[in-house]
Amino acid sequence: MFGACVHPEAARGRHALDERAYGVASTALTAATRARPNELSYWVDLGRAHVGQGDAPRAQAAFARAIALSPDEARLHVYLGHAFELARGYDQAEIEYRRAVALEPARAWPLRVLGARLLKWGRFSDAVPVLEQALTRDPDHAETHNALAIALVKAGDRDAAESRFRAAIARFPEQRTLALGLGALLIDAGRTRDALAVYTTTAQRWPQYAPLHVARAVLLEQLGDLQGAQAALAEALRLSPDNHDYQGRMAALRRTASTAE
């Protein structure tokens, strides 16, 4: 329940936001901002509603109004950056993300946002130091470790990327994405046996994840262990018996094994 001080249209708009009824939310929140134009939270919620609608210009206008009311809040610049991204205004989005970092330099979140966007935009070397700074402020954020490792791979520093992946896996053994990333790096480097060791350990931890068994099958076949490859694929098919890709792989593997006999 919203407090009695909340304008009825704002309450209605927030409820609509929760329901992802963005058109209803934007109409209600527009009315709320007209009734109380100096209420920061209404402009923020209105911006969120417009983002949900895919209406970048109106989202930008709402978040800009919020910033005019509270210019030193880093989160507002991040929100405005998202609105610029929605319109593919990446240069302006970066400016807003960097403003957020400047406003709260000791906080990891704005750095994470900036680093993730630089990675997404293909600016891998630029992303690396930003993500490293984010980790110095919050070393317990697994996704930042993963993003940094990927940025290092893309920037061409595979040794540093491997070290980052392995350190992160030791720190966050419950994060399967890290192990999958390390395996992919090793495969790309032609280190088939090392990749197999990673996927085998990971499959033991997540035995119900069929793609791991398929990945093991592919590597085992490359190493000439056709029997082991068939066993790994059989496990994947046990978990996903209707998967046509797995079925096709097994048929092809059996033909290969038959020819090799």
What domains sit in the chain, N to C, each tagged with a CATH number? Answer: 1-105 (1.25.40.10), 106-187 (1.25.40.10), 190-261 (1.25.40.10)
What is the token pair recorded at 198? 């990673």
The residues, ordered by sequence, that sit 6+ positions from 35 with a Cβ below 8 Å of its Cβ are: 7, 9
Would you state the pLDDT for residue 258? 87
**CA–CA gap between residue 187 and residue 208 (Å, rounded):** 22
Over 90: is that where the pLDDT of 233 sits? Answer: yes
What is the token pair recorded at 204? 């033991």
Q: Extract long-range pairs of 96-104: CB within 8 Å, 24+ residues apart.
A: 99/74, 100/74, 100/75, 101/74, 103/72, 103/73, 103/74, 103/77, 104/74
**CA–CA gap between residue 133 and residue 131 (Å, rounded):** 5
pLDDT, tens digit, 9 for 90 and up, residues 19-69: 999 999 999 999 999 999 999 999 999 999 999 999 999 999 999 999 999
Using only the alpha carbons of the chain, give its radius of gyration: 25
pLDDT, tens digit, 9 for 90 and up, residues 56-104: 999 999 999 999 999 999 999 999 999 999 999 999 999 999 999 999 9
**CA–CA gap between residue 148 and residue 111 (Å, rounded):** 12
Would you state the pLDDT for residue 110? 98
Would you state the pLDDT for residue 12? 97
The residues, ordered by sequence, that sit 6+ positions from 259 with a Cβ below 8 Å of its Cβ are: none
In angstroms, the first-to-last Cα distance of the chain is 71
**CA–CA gap between residue 166 and residue 121 (Å, rounded):** 25
pLDDT, tens digit, 9 for 90 and up, residues 180-192: 999 999 999 999 9
Phi, psi of 154 (to 5 degrees): -65, -30
Phi, psi of 142 (to 5 degrees): -60, -40
